Amino acid sequence: MKIVVLKFGGTSVGTIKKIKKVAGIIADYRKKNFKVIVVSSAMSGVTNELVKKSREISENFSDTEYDVLVSSGEQVACSLIAGSLIHKGLKSRSWLAWQIPILTKGLHKNSRINKINKNKILNYLKDGGIPIITGFQGIDDEERITTTGRGGSDASAIMLAKFFKAQKCIIYTDVEGVYTTDPNKLKKAKKIKVISYEEMLEMASLGAKVMQPVSIQDARLNRINIEVKSSFVKKSGTLITKRSNIINNKIITGISSTNNDAKVSLIGVKDKPGVAASIFKPLSKKSINVDMVVQNISANGKETDLTFTIKSEDLNKTKKIILENKNIKFRNLLLKDGVSKISIIGVGMITTPGVTFRMFQTLANEKINIQVISTSEIKISVLIDKNYTKKALKALHKEFKLDN
């Protein structure tokens, strides 16, 4: 059975007009003799409105009832898509996750799909039906509705592709694919034809909003090839696949940037085992995400300077937590808002010497000062003044020949 999984994001099903267009895309795959499984997000903005309503009831709204509430958005979208296909003369129906069922493990609001009962869907496909399945949700061992976290419809599509051994998994969204950098920040950004799971994972975790990192990790672990493309224009998208499938002469695949970071530096921290944990544990408890971390030990080995980055909106909260922390001692606390993280990403840098030098020299030529440096096997990130973000992107994009 030649199966394709098509996932449509909230912007793709945001209006009735768009839903009719989506129905046309699905019908085209049927004409190509594919058995089509469709996964849909809620219409754009709907989930946010539902979350808002829960907060108006209580800031501590029940997690189990939260999942029941926010999962209702997908039900509406799936029904409308199925209705549009029926209007076209095709056999279709909506399927809620519990009707299949899609079984999950883990906490409410952030569950993980671990099993999908295939029998009902397979029989429906064999009868010529097009199942429209609610993304982002499942049921637990107690038959309570669960959700898989924001952006979880991508994960639903990937796991359906895995369990049904689909030939293709296509994520339809409002962009034509993955770009070398944010096209809204740099007009010379180019669409990437093929990108590895690892590179896409880095780009997503660094701010590229095409897919959620957890969904890319699911695809990587299960070796599911994903194509990201636009539901609005008929153009090829970006294929996300394993490294061995890629023939690429570019050292750097993409450049990402953030624009809402802040830098925190603790100067003269008494250096002893567990001091870093003492600093970061209270931040973790308050759900403050710490990103780049740099530690410098003094010559006498008794003190250390510790610098890390957080989101700007967490700066005041972080300051309060650190100043109230009785488990750490330091001489000074420095806080700096208005910084940006620029990252170059590419598996090519593993085998290519001089990439770090080229990045630093390019920024130096533009008179851009580097405040913090962080590296991994396929990524180099630097923290710079936010005002130089566009200038840095333009220079690095040109240096690593991504303009071509």
Supply the CATH classification number for the domain 3-249. 3.40.1160.10
Match 């700066």 to its residue by tokens: 315
Q: Which two tokens stand for residue 105?
A: 């493990």
pTM for this one? 0.83
Rounded Cα distance, 83 and 80, in Å: 5
Q: Which helix (H) or strand (E) holds 32?
A: none
Cα–chain-centroid distance for residue 48?
17
Tell me what pLDDT residue 34 has. Answer: 95
Burial of 153 (0-12, 13-18, 19+ CB in 10 A): buried
Tell me what pLDDT residue 208 has. Answer: 67
Residue at 226: amino acid letter: I
Ranges of the chain whose pLDDT falls below 50? none
Match 């970061």 to its residue by tokens: 280
Tell me what pLDDT residue 278 has. Answer: 93
Instruction: Give 232-278 pLDDT, tens digit per residue.
Output: 999 999 999 998 777 777 899 999 998 889 999 999 998 888 889 99
Please give the full DSSP string across 116-135, using - where no structure is assigned. Answer: E--HHHHHHHHTT-EEEEES
Angle, helices 46-57 vs 72-87, to 10°: value is 150
Phi, psi (deg, nearest 5) at residue 87: -60, -30
Q: How far is CA 234 from CA 87, 187, 291, 342, in A?
A: 23, 21, 38, 32
Cβ(249)–Cβ(351) below 8 Å: no
Please give the full DSSP string across 229-256, using - where no structure is assigned. Answer: EESSS----EEEE-GGG-----S--EEE
Tell me what pLDDT residue 196 has. Answer: 92
Long-range contacts, 181-184 (Cβ 8 Å, 24+): 181/254, 181/255, 181/256, 181/257, 181/393, 181/397, 181/402, 182/208, 182/256, 182/257, 182/393
Burial of 171 (0-12, 13-18, 19+ CB in 10 A): buried
Q: Which two tokens stand for residue 336?
A: 């700096």
Rounded Cα distance, 361 and 354, in Å: 10
Tell me what pLDDT residue 207 has. Answer: 63
Tell me what pLDDT residue 297 has. Answer: 79
As a residue count, the chain comes to 404
Cβ(364)–Cβ(392) below 8 Å: no
